[in-house]
Amino acid sequence: MAVYDTGPIDNRDAPRTTQLTIRLFNTGRLPALVGIEAYHINPSGDGFGNKTLYVVELVPLNPFNTTDPSYTLDNVYADLDVFGVRVLTSGLGANDIAITVLEKDSAGQIIEKHVLEGELSRIQELLFAYVANQSSDTVTVINTGTNTIVTTIPLPAGSLPQGIAITPDGSRAYVANFSNNTVTVLDTATNTILTTIPLPAGSGTFEIAITPDGSRAYVANFSNNTVTVLDTATNTILTTISLPAGSGPDAIAITPDGSRAYVTNGGNSTVTVLDTATNTILTTILLPSGIFPNAIAITPDGSRAYVANFGNSTVTVINTATNTILTSIPLPAGSSPAGIAITPDGSRAYVANADNDTVTVINTETNTILTTIPFPAGSAPFGIAITPDGSRAYVANIGNRTVSVLDTAINAVIATLPAGNSPNTVAITPILLF
């Protein structure tokens, strides 16, 4: 991902700019998603303050030599004392976007031309990885731009954090705590605890997922065979969905349209499909007996769910239109896949294998293994998350108390960071247009 900014443009002298033209062009061979922001800043003394957005637009750009590789936003209002333009690019072609901002007067004549490229106009977008450290009752916060530890957030003793999810606006992280049957809500701006939500005793709170609109959090409770639905506006329990005895729900993922939640049940080797409108069970998908499914990810188009099966070292692919099994992808014997994540373009699935210290990369078009990435012996890679631009994967290694950073272009480890005791899950803040 790249972020470009003209910086504040002082428009108080003649000739005065009254309108802007913003031109985008994809010069590369890969698609990209581009966010355009025009902002107004109120002058205050010799400085500037009170930045206000007045144009926000999101534009997909196809590769060069295909249809729609360019986009022009014309006649953007700019009759302001101080204004600026910020452009965010993401996707596989994020670094190949040519950006031109033209300042024009009331007659449409060009006053100034800004070509946004190079280090002078490119700024770093702050994205953070949040890692739940099971045995040390902490959450490690990583700046993904610099791959440095920002802080470590202590949770109450005996929490045993098991799962973590971040709201779509990036403002809060929800941590599921297995031992004390709670969900801790973190303020990501201050990295402090906002509140703690108690769940019924004996829940065995395991994993958590948040709806795309951010209104609800779904918590899989391993010990009492339920899914708790939280209202994220009030941080209270909306309802509890009961699953069959012995289900042992241990992971959960929500479709991109928010209509369904898919729950893996390690206890009875099934996947429960929930209707999130009614919070009732739609259907149950039977997997081979004894395979202990314990991680799940859904493709960005919502067409398939990929289930990592710890017990028999396979990945089950589910057709979400029919809720039937499409195929099963065998991993090397003894892999024990514990975590899975899918790239934003849906082309690859990354599987963290706890017992053979590897990450398997799957081609989701063919459902075959692309490559296997080796980790140091004893790493036990467990949880995995991918950055919003798809360029890196962050892997929580429960065995050696580290987080590995994978470059997905070359499928190799480019950094290793210290974490707390038994880091087992990781979540990454989204790219935000603000």
- Record the tokens describing residue 399, joined without a space: 């065995």
pLDDT at 210 over 90: yes
Q: Span 58-70, mean pLDDT? A: 86
On the 0-12 / 13-18 / 19+ scale of CB atoms within 10 A, 322 is: exposed
From start to end of 91-211, where are the E strands?
97-104, 110-116, 122-123, 128-133, 138-143, 148-154, 161-166, 172-177, 182-187, 192-198, 205-210
Could you tell me how many residues make up the chain? 434
Task: Record the tokens describing residue 372, joined without a space.
Answer: 């296997």
Determine the pLDDT at residue 123: 43
What stretch of H or E contains 121? helix 118-121
CB 116 within 8 A of CB 87: yes
Q: How many CB atoms are closer than 10 A to CB 88?
A: 23
pLDDT value, residue 278: 98
Pairing verdict, β 236-242 and 249-254: unpaired
**Residue 336 buriedness (CB in 10 A; 0-12 / 13-18 / 19+):** buried
The four Cα atoms 114, 116, 118, 120 give a dihedral, to 10 degrees, of: 60
The pLDDT, as a whole number, for residue 187 is 94
Looking at residue 193, its amino acid is: I
What 3-state DSSP class applies to 306?
strand
Averaged pLDDT for residues 332-361:
96
**Residue 29 pLDDT:** 80
Whose CA is closest to 9, among 58, 79, 72, 63? Answer: 79
Q: In whole angstroms, what is the distance from residue 22 CA to residue 98 CA?
A: 11
118-172 pLDDT, tens digit per residue, is 444 444 456 899 999 999 999 999 999 889 999 999 999 999 999 999 998 889 9
Peptide bond into 168 cis (omega under 30): no
Q: Which of these, 76, 86, 127, 97, lies nearest to 33 by C-alpha position?
A: 97
Instruction: Average the pLDDT over 195-212 and give the result.
Output: 97
Whole-structure pTM value: 0.77
The overall average pLDDT reported for the chain is 92
- The reported pLDDT for the residue numbered 434 is 43
Report pLDDT for 120: 41
Contact 384, 373 (CB under 8 A): no
Would you state the pLDDT for residue 431?
A: 67
Query: What is the pLDDT, as a whole number, of residue 119?
Result: 44
152's tokens: 């470590």
39 strand-pairing partners: 53, 84
Q: What is the mean pLDDT of residues 28-49?
A: 79
Q: pLDDT grade, residue 425 (50/70/90)?
A: very high
Please give the Cα distance from 244 to 332 (Å, whole number): 32
Note the pLDDT tens digit of each residue in 217-273: 999 999 999 999 999 999 999 999 999 999 999 999 999 999 999 999 999 999 999
pLDDT at 411: 96
Question: In the chain, what are the domains?
Answer: 2-123 (2.60.290), 128-428 (2.130.10.10)
72-116 pLDDT, tens digit each: 999 999 999 899 999 988 887 888 888 999 999 988 888 998 888
Looking at residue 117, its pLDDT comes to: 67
